[in-house]
Chain A
């Protein structure tokens, strides 16, 4: 199991479209993926869960991945955050 703090850098935060991209990516992996912010812990493969995290710009989300492909999953998820979910800002 690995976990890492990742900062939300895109301007709009984890809104519906960004959440959709995260969930689509997370669903490609066999590992269990959970996101935690404050007291709330959610399944990274559930779009509603991700939206309900209410992660706005500059908040830090702890990502925990557990499973055979956890390393690759972490790299790709981190890249998605870093690339602002392919948004313009």
Chain B
């Protein structure tokens, strides 16, 4: 009978293999009182176990392949330091001598003491780091019990199996990576657990958070695991296995093809170079950015510097955050969007105001920045100063009227003036652009374009404001339609305004990252796409197979179509 369980898919890909159960964890420890003459021998036994643990960890450290992510080595380094730390290597010896007890019991008491300290910590992440210490303690306990888990694992052929465990240590993952293990399932952990981070960096499919996985699944039973959806299938018939093998082959092939595109630039068949840029926000995106072969960052959201933290970042912290991305980009441009605070994203109680029914229409983005010019100028100064380290562009969100643009530009000039008098370096000619995300802005794009160096179409808001649809509202979200004739017209107007003013126009909304719309946008004349790094290679693949001259004719027809339902088949035809 088939059994389907689902957990959290943390490392994508399909794994097909037989279950290998890992039953371990802390061995049960009992207290034994020692006679005086036994004590020295017990201390020595404990020291040997600590040395053994350190040796095992060093051995693992040396067997890390050179191309493995740097994190793997640092994980093991930290465990090695713990094994050598006096709190684990010396304090238990004192306990053995004082209480005349066995080494296992002494180590357990020290462990309980440490646990008490960690449990009082307020920071969630730091509190869970007790896991790191426990891994090392368990390793020592196991050696004391002669249960050298890692050694045992080395002896068993694990090739092609799916490891099912409570949790995995970094050391486990390193030992396993050379054994062609098909996949991992763990009972504990989330998307940020060791298992997840390491599985992703090693490219092994993994599902975590399946409680009691070890009692649900049986040793050696065949299993299918989907690391994207988090689904685990047991007891399947041959046909299902065949089906998944096919999907697995297709995914691998598609992935191989896509990653081969990383170092090729995006260029249409008729020779038009297209710039593919990344939208980034969080630290995870930086890793993805490096793998995406992006031509730069088209949208760097900066709200994380203000919200979900105790105090907003000051100029120095902002500068260091921007410089970090500049270093990763190695000379490719970074487009920093100034803060899009307000509405439902706010940190300052003075600006919370009455909870309005329509936060999207309230005091947010550039409107809020212009009401709190001190805060805004602080960010402008940080952005300007970062431009001394590499190419940086300033992007102003939600500009609606010329007045807002004039005010923002004058604040940028003021910030430049201040920096000059302080002898701080910045790029005098830093490009400034505006988001086009309000219908009024699209219609006024030709006026804005004269005062700016670039424009960037934010389709998410542009669609929401044009169609008066709140996408999070389940009752109307079916009306959210990027292909609505009015939306396409506004995009077209903006692109035309850019061409006339001879300034680049980018698109940084979700529409730019959706492969269904790539050809339509090419046909409309978009030459700068900005999307989440994970979408870029797929978009590039489409661009490199497209011919703009062929698409233009069809997109003209689409623009002339007023019936939304007719547009979808026309766009499908472009993609065929």
Contacts and interface: CB of A to CB of B under 8 A. Distances in A.
B81 A23 contact: yes
Contact of B122 (A12, A15, A54, A88): A54
Contact of B81 (A11, A14, A24, A57): A24
A10 B308 CA distance: 14
B304 to A, nearest CB: 8
A9 B317 CA distance: 8
B82 A48 contact: yes
Contact of B321 (A46, A51, A89): A89
A14 B86 CA distance: 19
Interface size grouping (class) on chain A: 20 to 34
A16 B132 contact: yes
**Among A23, A49, A54: residue with most chain B CB under 10 A:** A54
A80 to B, nearest CB: 13
B120 to A, nearest CB: 8
Contacts, number: 83
**Among A14, A51, A56: residue with most chain B CB under 10 A:** A51
Tell me the dominant secondary structure on chain B's binding face.
helix
B310 A56 contact: no
B283 A88 contact: yes
B126 A13 contact: yes
A89 B129 CA distance: 18
Interface stretch (B70-78, B271-279, B442-450): B70-78
B258 interface: no
A11 B321 CA distance: 11
Contacts of A13: 123, 125-126
A73 interface: no
Contacts of A17: 71, 74-75, 77-78
Interface string B120-141: 0111011101001100000000
A58 interface: yes
A1 interface: no
A21 to B, nearest CB: 7
B86 A56 contact: no
Contacts of A52: 114, 117-118
Given A24-B77, A46-B85, A89-B283, A56 B126 contact: yes
Interface in B129-164: 129, 132-133
Contacts of B311: 58
A20 interface: yes
Contacts of A51: 126, 129, 132-133
A54 B287 contact: no
Contacts of B309: 57-58
Contact of B77 (A11, A20, A89): A20
Contacts of A54: 118, 121-123, 126-127
B86 to A, nearest CB: 7
B282 A89 contact: yes
Contacts of A63: none
A33 interface: no
Interface in B308-345: 309-311, 317, 320-321, 324
B568 interface: no
A82 interface: yes
A47 interface: yes
Interface string A40-60: 000000111101101111100
Contacts of B310: 58
B87 interface: yes
B512 interface: no
Contact of A20 (B74, B86, B121, B282): B74
B88 interface: yes
Contacts of B78: 16-17, 19-20, 47
A87 B114 CA distance: 26
Contact of B87 (A14, A48, A56): A48
**Among A14, A52, A84: residue with most chain B CB under 10 A:** A52
Contacts of A16: 75, 78-79, 82, 129, 132
Nearest to A47: B81
**Among B85, B117, B320, B321: residue with most chain A CB under 10 A:** B85
Interface string B88-131: 10000000000000000000000000100110011101110100
30 contacts: A9-B317, A11-B283, A13-B125, A14-B126, A15-B125, A15-B126, A15-B129, A16-B75, A16-B78, A16-B79, A16-B82, A19-B78, A20-B74, A21-B74, A24-B77, A47-B81, A48-B85, A48-B87, A48-B88, A48-B114, A48-B133, A51-B129, A52-B118, A54-B127, A55-B126, A58-B310, A87-B283, A88-B286, A89-B286, A89-B321
Given A48-B82, A49-B85, A58-B310, 11 more contacts: A15-B129, A16-B82, A17-B75, A46-B87, A48-B133, A49-B87, A52-B118, A54-B122, A54-B123, A58-B309, A89-B282
